[in-house]
Amino acid sequence: MFKAKNIAAVALLAAVYTAIKILRLTGIFGSYHEITIAQICINMLLACSLNLITGFAGQFSLGHAGFMSIGAYACALIIIRFPSVYGFMLGLIAGSLASAVVGLAIGIPTLRLSGDYLAIATLGMAEIIKVVFFNLKITNGAAGLMNIPRLMNWEWMFCLTAGSVALINNFINSRHGRACMSIREDEIASQSVGIDIALYKIAAFAIGAFFAGISGGMYAAYFYVLKPGIFGLLKSIDILVIVVLGGLGSISGSIIGAALLTLISALLQDFASLRMIIYALMLIAIMMFRPQGLLGTNEISFALFTRALKRESAK
Amino acid sequence: MLELKSLNVHYGVIHVLKDVSLTVGRGQIVTLIGANGAGKTTALRTISGIKAPSSGSIILDGQDITKIPAPKRVVLGLSQVPEGRRIFASMSVYENLELGAYLRKDTKAVKSDIQDVFARFPILGKRQKQPAGTLSGGEQQMLAIGRALMLKPKILLLDEPSMGLAPILVNEIFDIIKNINEQGTTVLLVEQNASKALAIADIGYVLETGTIVLSGTGAELAASDDVKKAYLGG
């Protein structure tokens, strides 16, 4: 429990938190920066949860925005009626659970699919969810939900994201996480050592969807407005890009990827017309020079640093 | 110990195994030989539960396991070394062995069992931190066998362990199998390399297009004219 690396992780989190807090209090960070921080938190959680499905369990999914939208709408509908912290808690729990149930519902029938076929199936699922939100009365169709009470601030975001990512990380480092990874490596071999591959594929979908639901709830309670169009294929691809760029199978990769890409896209906002071109060119460049993603399947750890130091001193 | 009773298996309309019955006695090495497409791998898959039979039954230690799903059969002591080795390529040798013990909860004993595997295959010990995909074919086969042994199976199912290996390694792998058997593990060996398989087997079965056409002790079959003609090159 109190291992050096856990203490280091907590210390790092506290340092980042304090740094942001100071910057915010001294007024160096304005509300514009706070929005960027919120976006980074949401994207981090989305990327880590998708990485669990795609990077660790090896199940290619193009429907992550669909899971996010369920969490977002469920949370929004609840906090509109109960605009309080308790309402938000309830909304977050209801949204993430609803999302996990849909994750189960998509995981079971698509068990036999893999690769491109699974991607198409999950894409179709996300589109169905979008169409449902377009046509439901309670979600106000294409006009969407407005004036959702803003119950989130960046402190909430920070803690929720840190907690959720820690839980995902714990899952991945448990024997269950190992089982998920073994499925990515080789399904037949996994079965031969007694791993229930159906169970773990479905579990990966449900858990990934659960945390995507939380990020959706965070989104709803921060950005006032929800429209079904936000959660289209493009959003799913955005998340996938972060995961692939950070490294499939690396949680620290997803964290760094989410921070980097969100920052880049925020910084490029001043060059509106060139923004997507520069963004796309950067992605192409990174993929050409780091096809395995920024971190590959590695995690940032002490061992990584000591190894790098040794290499340096050996030179 | 393991018994197949008139097993029939279909892939769609294709009748792959026709009334296959065989018996593996405790402590024996039993081999199932046959040409490509005879149904050997299907037989193993049916035993390990990956493929469901259309009729017939599989009995392990007197218990009918025909309806038991694959992961539960592993718990019951059926451990398979799949065809083509199927190691976890990007994980280290050590992690592969740990995953072999996935079903076990006795962490300490697992650690000492991993050391036992390293004692049996010293080369794996030397390469324990290396990604398994960088091992040679023979080493990968040793790893696959080592991984299956981590479960301390009652019966080890081997699917073409000699496939794709250099002849000198093939001999080594068969020696290993014999050695494992001598230490008390029952072995069901599916092989194309009939002469080598029959040389170490107590009992052999010959499978031809889904039907068992011959059976007998390893020595009997090796001496049989039919087997010689069909599988041993005259």
pLDDT tens-digit profile of B95-135? 999 999 988 888 888 999 999 999 999 999 999 999 999 99
Cβ-Cβ contacts under 8 Å, B88 against chain A: 181-182, 185-186, 189
Interchain CB contact of B90 with A (< 8 Å): yes
Q: Is the pLDDT of residue B234 over 60?
A: no
A199-220 per-position pLDDT tens digit? 999 999 999 999 999 999 999 9
Distance CA A250, CA A184 (A): 14
Cβ-based contacts of A250 with chain B (< 8 Å): none
CA distance B95 to A301: 18
State the pTM of this model.
0.86
Average of per-residue pLDDT across A123-130? 92
Predicted confidence (pLDDT) per residue in B167-184, tens digit: 888 999 999 999 999 998
Among B102, B103, B190, pick the best mutation site for testing chain A contact (most A Cβ within 10 A). Answer: B102
To the nearest whole Å, the CA of A222 is away from the closest chain B CA by 41
Round to whole Å and give the CA distance between B146 and A123: 41
**Distance from the Cα of residue A257 to its chain's centroid:** 11
Asked if A186's CB is within 8 angstroms of B88's CB, the reply is: yes
> From A183, which residue of chain B is nearest by alpha-carbon distance?
B88
Residue A262 has, within 13 A of its CA and on its CB side, a CA count of 24
Closest listed residue to residue A133, CA positions, set A67, A216, A228: A228
Task: Determine how many CB atoms are found less than 10 A away from the CB of residue A197.
Answer: 19
Q: Tell me the pLDDT tens digit for each residue of A21-54.
A: 888 888 888 888 889 999 999 999 999 999 999 9
Q: Please tell me the distance from the alpha carbon of residue A231 to that of residue A223, in angstroms, as a whole number.
A: 14
If pLDDT is split at 50, 70 and 90, which confidence band does A107 have? confident
Amino acid (1-letter code) at residue A104: L
B217: left (phi over 0), alpha (psi -120 to 50) or beta: beta
Q: What residues in A contact B148, CB-CB < 8 Å?
A: 192-193
SS (H, E, C) chain B: CEEEEEEEEEECCEEEEEEEEEEECCCCEEEEEECCCCCHHHHHHHHHCCCCCCEEEEEECCEECCCCCHHHHHHCCEEEECCCCCCCCCCEHHHHHHHHCCCCCCHHHHHHHHHHHHHHCHHHHHCCCCEHHHCCHHHHHHHHHHHHHCCCCCEEEEECCCCCCCHHHHHHHHHHHHHHHHCCCEEEEEECCHHHHHHHCCEEEEEECCEEEEEEEHHHHHHCHHHHHHHCCC
Residues from chain A contacting residue B147 (CB–CB below 8 Å): 193
pLDDT greater than 70 at residue A2: no
Q: Quick one: closest CA in B to A176, which residue?
A: B102
Q: How far, in Å, CA of B107 to CA of B96, rounded?
A: 15
Contact of B81 with chain A, judged by CB distance below 8 Å, is answered with yes
B147 in contact with A at a CB cutoff of 8 Å? yes
Flag the least confident range among A89-93, A244-248, A300-304: A300-304
Taking any CB pair shorter than 8 Å as contact, residues of chain A touching chain B are 175, 178-179, 181-182, 185-186, 188-196, 297
CA gap B35, B119 in Å, rounded: 35
Length of chain B: 234
Tokens 């040679």, residue located: B136
The answer, yes or no, to whether residue B232 has pLDDT greater than 90, is no
Q: In terms of CA atoms, which chain B residue is nearest residue A185? A: B88
Instruction: Please report the pLDDT score of residue A302 as a whole number.
Output: 63
Answer whether A244's CB lies under 8 Å from A293's CB: yes
Q: A133: Cβ–Cβ under 8 A, 6 or more apart, which residues?
A: A69, A73, A139, A228, A231
Cβ pair A73, A137 in contact under 8 A: no
Q: Hey, are the CB atoms on B82 and A175 less than 8 Å from each other?
A: no
Tokens of A94: 């209801």
For chain B, how far is it from start to end, CA to CA, in angstroms?
34
Give the up-direction half-sphere exposure of residue B230: CA atoms within 13 A in the CB hemisphere: 18
Provide the β-strand partners of residue A131. Answer: none
B98 with A195: Cβ contact below 8 A: no
Give percent helix, percent strand, percent coil of chain A, each to the nearest 5.
75, 0, 20
What's the one-letter identity of residue B197? Answer: A
B82 vs A179: CB contact, 8 Å cut-off? no
Cβ contact (<8 Å) for A188 and B148?
Answer: no
Q: How far apart are CA B42 and CA A146, in angstroms?
A: 59
Residue A307 reports pLDDT greater than 80: no
